Amino acid sequence: MKASPADQLLLLDVVDIDRRLAQAEAVRRNPPQAARVQELIARRTSLGRELADRAGARDDLRAELKRIEGDVEVVSARRARDAERLNVATSPKDAQGLEHEIASLDRRRSDLEDAELEVMEKLEAADAALAEQQALMDEVTSEGQRLSGEAKELVAKATSDIDALTRDRGAVAGRIPADLLALYERLAARGTGTAVFTRGMCGACNMNLAPSDLAVLRSTPADEVALCPECGGIMVRTAESGL
């Protein structure tokens, strides 16, 4: 295929634009923060389950404490009522019964108050555990929000870059002969590169050409497109090619 050296050099501009387009597209599809954000989402889900368990345990203790406090109120009210009845009792037998019941109520209230203190201590620990878990949740949420914000900014910039690069590519590609551009794009689609040939090496595959292939390349006119015998890519020759 015939193509002027100047047109072949324009291919290198397209190669560079396509490389940057691929990089920007990769960022747009999968910003570098995405993997960590997914880890944080999974982490937050796990922390959320533990938070719910701890909240449930705390609520159970609150319910138990409320029940004990209610029992204390009932016992205290009954003792006060028995104490009033004892003050006006005229029968020794009735007075003895009331004294016995008051003593029993005092023991019951003492047991309830001990249980109340124990539950209050457990509740304090449960509140601390819940606050600790919530702090972890808040930390993970904060990091996730920060990274998500950064990712959105990168995606927006990548999208803007893609639009600009696409325009640039169109402008450069419009100056390249259609058959040469079609050859480049066909080779690029199958993963074959286009690069500068430098000092005996194909820049597309970084392979050194055999002496016989070098001899063929030296005899190839400058306006003839040269393909690498190793990778099939276009070898663009410049003043630094050493031919």
- Final residue in a domain of this structure, among 121, 153, 185: 153
Q: Is residue 160 part of a domain?
A: no
Same domain as 140, residue 44:
yes
The string of pLDDT tens digits covering residues 85-106 is: 988 887 888 889 989 999 999 9
Same domain as 38, residue 10:
no
Same domain as 139, residue 101:
yes
Q: Could you tell me the CATH number of the domain that includes residue 76?
A: 1.10.287.1490
Beginning with the edge strand found earlier in the chain, give each strand of the sheet holding 226-227 in spatial order: 201-202, 194-198, 234-237, 226-227
Q: Is residue 159 part of a domain?
A: no
Query: What does the block give as tokens for 110?
Result: 């003492």
pTM to 2 decimal places: 0.74
The string of pLDDT tens digits covering residues 80-90 is: 999 999 888 87
| CA-to-CA separations, 11 to 19, 113, 133, 199, in angstroms, rounded | 12, 87, 58, 20
CA 142 to chain centre: 12
Same domain as 142, residue 207:
no
Residue 224 in this model has a pLDDT that exceeds 90: yes
- The residue written with tokens 């074959």 in the block is 192
Same domain as 107, residue 35:
yes
- Rounded (10°) angle between helices 92-173 and 5-29: 170
Same domain as 189, residue 81:
no
Same domain as 97, residue 18:
no
Number of folded domains in the chain?
A: 2
Same domain as 187, residue 82:
no
Provide φ and ψ at 236, rounded to 5°: -85, 120
Same domain as 53, residue 133:
yes
Same domain as 128, residue 80:
yes
Same domain as 82, residue 19:
no
Q: How many CB atoms are located within 10 Å of the residue 215 CB?
A: 11
Q: Is residue 161 part of a domain?
A: no
Residue 40 in this model has a pLDDT that exceeds 90: yes
What does the pLDDT read at residue 135?
97
Q: Is residue 243 part of a domain?
A: no
Band (114; pLDDT cuts 50, 70, 90)? very high
Same domain as 21, residue 56:
no
What is the pLDDT averaged over residues 182-204?
A: 93
What does the pLDDT read at residue 242?
80
- Final residue in a domain of this structure, among 153, 186, 205: 153
Buried b or exposed e, range 65-88, using 16+ CB within 10 angstroms: beebeebbeebeeebeebeeebee
The string of pLDDT tens digits covering residues 120-170 is: 999 999 999 999 999 999 999 999 999 999 999 999 999 999 999 999 999
- The residue written with tokens 């944080």 in the block is 40
What does the pLDDT read at residue 122?
98
CA 71 to chain centre: 50
Q: Is residue 162 part of a domain?
A: no
Segments forming the whole domain that contains residue 45:
30-153
